[in-house]
Amino acid sequence: MAIICNEATKFFALETMNSTYAMQVGNSGELLHVCYGGKIDCTDDLSALTQRPDRAFSPSPAGQGRSNSLNVLPAELAGFGSGDFRMTACRIKKANGSSVTAPVYKSFRVYNGKPALPGLPASFAAETACRTLEITLEDLFSGVEFLLSFSVFDNSDVIARSVKVVNNTSETVEIENLMSLQLDFDHADFDLLYPQGNWAYERHIERMPLHPGIQSFGSVRGSTGHQYNPGFVLAAKTASENSGEVYGALLVYSGSYTADIQVDAFSGIRALLGINPENFCWQLTPGAEFHSPEALLCYSAEGLNALSAQSHKFIMEHIIRSPWKHAKRPILVNNWEATYFDFDDNKIYAIAEKAASLGIEMLVLDDGWFGERNDDNSSLGDWFVNTDKLGDFAALVKRINALGLKFGLWFEPEMISEKSKLYEKHPEWVLCVPGKRRSYARNQLILDMSRKEVVDYLFETIAGLLKEIHIEYIKWDMNRNLTEIFSAALPAGQQGEVAHRYVMGVYELHERLLQAFPDLLIEGCSGGGGRFDAGMLYYAPQIWCSDDSDALERIPIQLGTSLFYPCSSMGAHVSVCPNHQTGRSVSYDFRAALALGGTFGYELDITKFTAEEDKIIREQVAAYHKYNDLVREGRFFRLSEGFGRTNCAAWCWVSDDRQEVLAVAVCKQARPCSQEPFKRLRFAGLDAGKVYTLEDGRSFHGSTLMNTGIDVTVALSKDASCVMLYLKAK
């Protein structure tokens, strides 16, 4: 990695392992984007890339003649209202009411390492493993400064980018819009890929050609949401899993965001990613600073699998901080789908006892253990043990620990029930417009996490319990999104800050708990995968992927999640059949094939198991111990392309030394057996020259496995059939 700066020509380039990202200051002072893609030689004259001929209806700044209109030049941080009619990346409102914004170059500096973003999750690296270029731009209209930071990392193709706004002026301004990422291209020959879906249907990958105009997705929910994920890929039209140019962008943020891709009138692209300007406005007093969340950019010339691998590696090395990130997670059993709210200490202990006998390593007590919560009508906020239900809780946990099991507990810290002691005491802590209608979801209201005293209360209550009881894992849930976003604690002029301050409050609570309990394993959750993002992964190394635990449904969910996020971060469990979400029944093998691809655990009443089921679970536990190092640390490949038009999917993990491989192939829906198409599993990422041996004794060269593949027609000839193949190289 390197950063190239030419002070005389005001040219800057970021070099990663396989890419170059270049910028240059244009004639009118704006920082222009020169190019981004495969590596180039920056000593070549690239100035033509930042020149544009005269275009009709495209104004130019005074003194620039008729060419070089800001409306056609590729920019790095497009201002507002000064000749660039495309989407804008920053907008500052002055005391005189004007929002015209025109950031122009002022200075730059380069340094080793990268600073943390105050109050926000962001990538980190040792000083020697990362370099940062900071370019300062000054708004011609307000005098406010934008410090654009770009960091590059050793052995990575990821570039981290964020923007700091500093108000060095003597008047208060308002940030109306500030995008973390802007990426302009001079052509639009791309497909757009992005994860989309809904509750229990998260992160299905959508691929579509770009079309003129704006294609946009995002969230105004105060959380990233189940519906879209804060990232996208621009892929060359011919790009596939294993070939072609692809560009990925991912926001390290867990609140409302927007991702916008505009194909402009000259068939170029402007892509933006950042905090959603809808319901966002930040007052910046003289001397104050504001940091945008960080955005990550990545380029690959070798298709989507290579992009995902870069993203996984980066998230593992530079985003997830937890001491658990490289560790094998305890196999857990969660009581939710086994009991819902209907349990007592005897039932929980019985689950634990059975779990211990099966080799399960942790019991997680889900919703319903606190206050008077026997359904979803009450008690959120009252994080005190329901002793009627659980008796002496500390003693129960000790008995569970004595079985050799760890103990984990569910919380939904950000929420409050109207029927709760907390609400009786602090109705003003609810996020709402006082005296006006409020919206309920799952019968609950939301705490105003922008208030310091709310975060303090939650910290003290949760930390108090963690000090008293031996809790080694927390499932941190969030079962609704924000409405009536208003804080009684902030003045009128700062109400546009509440949604972002809420997210900062959530981050602060995480941070304080982790400072106090550094080994605590937190699993993020939001009604399943409603807040699966790189921001949360900074605090929680794993996130419950989806409330849909049907293994068949999990295929697109987990494959879609793998576009950006590593398998070790995906919460995945074997649940009961018929499945509670879909009513579908599939084999234990099939359920394990999916769950073993994530953190692994159980979510069903194991006390009801037959002897045969006990045997199956013990085998699955053994499989977890055998394969999990590979799943956590190996390189992941989606292999479904090899299956043509069959209803199959496949994936594999390959160890760094390419000695070990685990492949999973699944058939979702079979055709009548005499009509089954031939199915070949084609591997990726192997060493072509090595000979790999399957557990049944067959051996093939890596080249054969990758270019021809092996026949799995019979193994995949039934609905929800699967095959797991473990190979070792000699």
Q: Which residues are catalytic?
A: 477, 547
When the beta carbons of 231 and 527 are compared against ligand DGJ, the nearer one is: 527
Of 135 and 447, nearer to ligand DGJ (C-beta) is 447
Q: Which of 528, 560, 566, 709 forms a contact with ligand DGJ (CB under 6 A)?
A: 528
479 binds ligand DGJ (CB under 6 A): yes
Using CB under 6 A as the binding rule, the residues of this chain from 391 to 430 that contact ligand DGJ are 410
The DSSP secondary-structure symbol of 317 reads I
Q: Which of residues 579-598 bind ligand DGJ (CB under 6 A)?
A: none
**Least distance from ligand DGJ to the Cβ atom of residue 302, Å:** 36
293 vs 528 by CB, closer to ligand DGJ: 528
Distance CA 487, CA 109 (A): 39
Q: How near is the Cβ of 129 to ligand DGJ at its closest, in Å? A: 36
Instruction: Give 201 or 410: the residue with its C-beta nearer to ligand DGJ.
Output: 410
Minimum gap (Å) between residue 466 Cβ and ligand DGJ: 19
Nearer to ligand DGJ among residue 202 and residue 317 (C-beta): 202
In angstroms, the Cα distances linking 350 to 338, 374, 608 are 12, 20, 10
Closer to ligand DGJ at the Cβ: 36 or 544? Answer: 544
Closest contact distance (angstroms) between CB of 336 and ligand DGJ is: 5
Q: Which is nearer to ligand DGJ, 79 or 528 (CB)?
A: 528
Q: Which residues, including other chains, have CB under 8 Å from residue 85's CB and lie 6 or more apart?
A: 58, 71
Residue 447 carries which DSSP code? B
Question: Hey, what are 504's tokens?
Answer: 């900062």
Give the count of beta carbons closer than 10 Å to the beta carbon of residue 295.
27
Sites for ligand DGJ among residues 28-47 (CB under 6 A)? none
For residues 462 and 520, the answer to whether their CB atoms sit within 8 Å is no
CB of residue 335 to ligand DGJ, shortest distance in Å:
10
Question: For residues 231 and 259, is the Cβ–Cβ distance under 8 A?
Answer: yes
367 binds ligand DGJ (CB under 6 A): yes
Least distance from C-beta 718 to ligand DGJ, angstroms?
30
Residues 182-241 within binding reach of ligand DGJ (CB under 6 A):
none
Q: What are phi and psi of 319, to 5 degrees?
A: -120, -50
Residue 294 binding ligand DGJ, by CB under 6 A: no
CA angle 673, 556, 647 (to 5 degrees): 20
Identify the residue among 36, 282, 336, 393 touching ligand DGJ (CB under 6 A).
Answer: 336
Q: Find, among 519, 521, 501, 517, the residue nearest to 455 by Cα.
A: 501
Residue located via tokens 């946009």? 216
Single-letter amino acid, residue 346: N
Chain residue at closest Cβ approach to ligand DGJ: 367
Q: Which of 74, 218, 330, 527 binds ligand DGJ (CB under 6 A)?
A: 527
Measured from the CB of residue 278, what is the shortest distance to ligand DGJ in angstroms?
27
- Window 486-525: contact mask with ligand DGJ (x via CB under 6 A): ---------------------------------------x
Which 8-state DSSP code applies to residue 316? I
The residue type at 61: P
* Residue found under tokens 């209201």: 445
Query: Of 697-716, which residues contact ligand DGJ (CB under 6 A)?
Result: none
Instruction: Please tell me the count of residues contacting ligand DGJ according to CB under 6 A.
Output: 11
Q: How far apart are CA 648 and CA 637, in angstroms?
A: 15
User: What's the full length of the chain, in residues?
Assistant: 730
Q: Which is nearer to ligand DGJ, 22 or 365 (CB)?
A: 365
Residue of the chain from 191, 202, 366, 553 that contacts ligand DGJ (CB under 6 A):
366
Enter the tokens of residue 224: 């990233």
Q: How far is the CB of 475 from ligand DGJ (least distance, A)?
A: 6
CA atoms of 660 and 463, how far apart (whole Å): 42
In the complex with ligand DGJ, which residue's Cβ is closer, 508 or 547? 547
Q: Site for ligand DGJ (CB under 6 A): which residue of 176, 241, 382, 477?
A: 477
At 327, the amino acid letter reads A
Taking CB under 6 A as the criterion, the residue among 393, 544, 600, 700 binding ligand DGJ is 544
Joined together, the tokens standing for residue 441 give 């979801």
Residue 135 CB, nearest approach to ligand DGJ (Å): 42
Q: Do 206 and 229 form a contact (C-beta atoms < 8 A)?
A: no
Q: By the 8 A CB rule, do 493 and 547 touch?
A: no
Write the burial class of residue 16 (CB in 10 Å: 0-12 exposed, 13-18 middle, 19+ buried): buried
Task: Give the residues across from 235 on adjacent strands.
Answer: 191, 246
Binding site for ligand DGJ (CB under 6 A): 336, 366-367, 410, 477, 479, 525, 527-528, 544, 547
